[in-house]
Every structure is written in C-alpha cells, then in structure tokens.
Amino acid sequence: MVSRRNFINQSVLVSAGAVVSSVMGNAVVAEAGEVEHITIPAPKLYEDKFRPKNNFGLGGVAIGNGFSVSTNEQSNETLSAAWAAGVRYFDTSPWYGLGISERRFGHFLTTQKREDFVLSTKVGRILNADKNFTLEKGIWKGQLNFNYKYDYTAAGVRRSVEDSLQRLGLSYLDVVFIHDLSPDNEDMKDKWTEYFEIAAKGAMPELTKMREEGIIKGWGLGVNTIEPILKTIDVADPDIFLSATQYSLIKHEDALNKLFPVCEKRDISLVIGAPLNAGFLAGLDRYDYNGTFPAGVKEKRSKIETVCKKFDVDLRTAALQFSAAPSVVSSVIPGARRGEHAKQNAASMNAQIPAAFWKELKLQKLIAEHAPEPRIK
C-alpha cells in the first residue's frame, strides 16, 4: 500500500521535476555555469478544492443509451432543455454507451461558451474499435462499436483523458473521476484492491499532475460503494467524489455516518449520482443498475409515497432535494432521457416542501433522524 505521505511526495517530485525541467530551459545561468536557485511552491493539500457552483446537474447514462436506445436528436433535445432550465453541470463517461454519451455531450456543449459550464468525465477504461462487440450483461443498448479494457496506470489515464477530449471536442475537463474501482464491479469483484494498488501508483499521481498542469481542475473516484472513497482519502489528495446509489431517500445511513464526516474533515465535496436510484424514486419499476430489488425497498417507497400524498409533495422532488441537502454535497446529477424529464428535474429543485413533511418521514423512521433537511426557500 502506498502511504498518503509517500503518495504526496511522489506526486510533488514528479510535478517538481517537470517544473524544474521547464524552467531550466529559460533559466539565467550565473557565474561558473551555475543555474539560479528555483523555488517551487509547496502543494496545497487541504484548501482550494474544486467544487461545482451548481447544486444540480445532468448525468449522462441515458444519453449513452442506458437501459434503452436514444437517438442523437432526442439526446440533443434533452441537453438543450436541460441548458434552458439552468443546468450548467454535466457528467459523462467513456463507459456510458462505450463513447456514445461523450460524443453526444460534446456535440451539444461545443456550441456553448466553455467557461459557462462544468463538465466531469471518467477514466479507467480504454476504448478500442470493435464493430462486433456486444455486452453480455450490461445496460448499454444499441450498436456499441467499441470494446474496452481496464487501465489505471499513469499512461492509461493520460490516454483516456486525451481520448475523451477528442470525443468531446473540448480543450480541458473540469473534473475527472476514476471509474468503477469498486467491489460491486462485476469484472473485478474481490480483485478490485489489486486494481486499486495500480491506480494508487499510477492514476492518482498522474491526475494530481494533470491538475497542476491545468488540464483538469479536480479529481476523485466515481463509484457505487463507500469503501474505495475512504481508501483513496487515506492514500491520496483528491478534490471531489462522485458517490452513486449511496445517498437517497431509500438508502443513506452508511453515507451519512461513515462517508460524510471524513469528507467534511478534508474539505472534500460529493456529487450524488443516482439520487432517484436509477428511476426508482421517479416511479419506475427499476432499482439502481444491477436489475435486482433489495428486500424492503418497494415497501419503503410505498410508505414514503403515502407521506408524499398527505403533504401534496412529488416523490421525485422530495428525493432530489433530500440528496442535495447535506452541506458536503456539491451537486446532484439525475439522468434524463427526454427534454421534459430534464425540465421536471430542474423544477423539482425549486419546489417548496414544508418542513412538516421531513418531520413526518423522521417520525415514521423512513429517513434518519440526523439526516439534513432541505432549507425552506
């Protein structure tokens, strides 16, 4: 295991070497051929962490043909509607549709001023052209045209970022998340720690270096479990994490008790992915991404719906506002397949929910007693 101190030292030495090399080319040579002393500023470890200003964004799973096929026209209409509704944070990944989501996001976002939006994507998989590739188990539908391999090395991450920039047609990324480095990844399972060791020596120092180079503004992990996030905080200097499926009306106590305090102590914010549990809290007969319903989730949703009816509150609205309420959360990023869905999600963030609604949920023990409540606007 790479210790946090060694990780930071390694990253600083690599970055420092690059800086010295760069400066040496223009250095003033003193008498006796000596190069003037160069002072390299110490790294900032606990301040100035990048945090999106928008507390609401758009996730790119549906845009990448997640669960069903979307057309290019439909996806562009969805992105246009989200933009018109005020969305300025967009999250995508090479994994979403094996490149489809990034291409579609780029097609729309290249028509906007780059400084007007925040974009995050992911690394960890390298895509290779393969017209015959099919995914035996997975949520991506339609013709894929690309196969993939895992690569958490420094060189692999550098290539992945460059590939993403080309698919997107952009010159820089705001945030890069190391993707699916987690025990729930069916490709890895118990071997995820072996991949983590590779990332700790390769991907993490390289992303820290790319942050210093200005190619990205921040990095972290994008995962569906808590343990890899805590492990990364122990060994590296991340800025922000994408935590999916871990903080919703249905499931939130582990994140609230184990994850949030650690992130707050390190001034690291969280982006909440799948705040609707992949549509479950919007009324769909689907829970998260693996196609199974954990025991009790349908019954819990039914009880929450009863409280929603009592207070005339929309379930989706309650779910989105709940996930956005903690101070450690910088943004929530539900997906949308159609423009109307994007508009509805955006409207939910501005709806008024009475304080009595949250009190009732706590009284019935449907949400944790110490869960933060959305502020009354």
Q: What is the mean pLDDT of residues 307-312?
A: 98
At residue 3, the pLDDT reads: 41
* Highest-confidence segment of 11-20, 154-163, 289-298: 154-163
Are 179 and 124 spatial neighbours (Cβ–Cβ below 8 Å)? yes
Confidence of residue 376 (pLDDT cuts 50, 70, 90): confident
Of 353, 298, 300, 301, nearest to 324 by C-alpha is 353
When pLDDT is cut at 50, 70 and 90, the band that residue 8 belongs to is very low
pLDDT of residue 21: 35
**β-bridge mates for residue 91, sequence order:** 59, 120
Q: State the residue for tokens 């700790």.
A: 200
Does residue 137 surpass a pLDDT of 90? no
- 36 occurs within a structural domain: no
Q: Is residue 102 part of a domain?
A: yes
Residue 10 is predicted with a pLDDT of 47
138 confidence band (pLDDT: 50, 70, 90): confident
Residue 132 structural domain: 44-306+316-352
In a domain, 14, yes or no: no
Number of domains in the chain: 1
Percentage of the chain exceeding pLDDT 90:
84
Token pair recorded at residue 310: 């009592």
CA distance to 141, 278, 349, per residue, from 293 (Å): 21, 12, 27
Residue 24 lies in a domain: no
- Judge whether residue 320 has pLDDT over 60: yes
CA distance 150 to 179: 10
Q: Which of 5-9, 178-182, 281-285, 315-319 has the lowest mean pLDDT?
A: 5-9
* Res 28 pLDDT > 90: no
The type of residue at 344 is Q
Angle (deg, nearest 10), helices 355-363 and 297-311: 140
pLDDT of residue 273: 97
Residue 47 banded pLDDT, cuts 50, 70, 90: low
Q: Is residue 83 part of a domain?
A: yes
> Phi and psi for 86 in degrees, rounded to 5?
105, 0
> To the nearest whole number, what is the mean pLDDT of the chain?
89
| Burial call 235-261: b when 16+ CB within 10 Å, e when fewer | bbbbbbbbbbbbbbbbbbeebbeebbe
Q: Between 240 and 136, name the one with better pLDDT.
A: 240
Q: Is residue 32 assigned to a domain?
A: no
Minimum mean pLDDT among 39-48, 79-88, 111-120, 274-283: which range?
Answer: 39-48
Instruction: Flag whether 374 is in a domain.
Output: no
Mean pLDDT of 199-219: 96
pLDDT score for 357: 98
How do residues 181-195 score in pLDDT, each as one tens digit? 999 999 999 999 999
CB 144 within 8 A of CB 78: no
Mean pLDDT within 112-122:
97
What CATH number did the domain enclosing 63 receive?
3.20.20.100
Answer whether residue 246 shows pLDDT above 60.
yes
What percent of the chain is modeled with pLDDT above 70?
87
Please indicate, yes or no, if residue 370 is contained in any of the structural domains. Answer: no
Band (pLDDT 50/70/90 cuts) for residue 45 is very low
Identify whether the C-beta of residue 181 lies closer than 8 Å to the C-beta of residue 137: no
